[in-house]
Amino acid sequence: MSHSSDTQPAMAYPTKTQYARWKAHAADYEMSVSEFMQAMIEAGLKKFEVAVTPDEPAHELREQRNDLKAELDHARKRIQRLEDQVHGGERRTIRRYVEQNPGVSYEEIVQQVIDTAPSRVSRHLDDLEGEVLQVRTADGTYRSLDIDSPEGGL
């Protein structure tokens, strides 16, 4: 910008690092540092709004947060219950087998768990079906009902 009678000098005291950065940006735009400063100040003023208008009122956001928190708590309880069933079922199977077969070896316990796994898996699948899993009866495959999962949402 050329100096004319309709301009007013203004001063800024940037650090040496800031000035070097401004000078480099000004060169990129083929401007003087003064022109760059004017352009950036004007650009900043156009995009800057002092008042912030929320998209939704605070009470609606609190309500949504509370609903999501309740949903999360419910999901956590359900997951914990299912994990307890799975782990408890395995422990129960081992405990019963050892009670019925005192002095049984580790290898025999492992084999018993392997031999009885299909019936336990069937019980777990029956419990999960319709809640978190869906079975496609045509091909007998299972899918997660979780829409966010890569396999879910069918």
| Residue whose pair of structure tokens reads 């708590």 in the numeric block | 73
The pLDDT of residue 84: 75
Q: Is the pTM of this model over 0.75?
A: no
The pLDDT of residue 152: 47
Alpha carbons 35 and 42: distance in angstroms, whole number: 11
The pLDDT tens digits for 14-57 are 999 999 999 999 999 999 999 999 988 888 888 666 676 778 88
Residues near 7 by beta carbon (within 8 Å), at least 6 away in sequence: 1
Q: Which tokens hold the place of 92? A: 């129960």
Q: For the chain, which residues make up each domain, given as ranges?
A: 16-47, 58-144
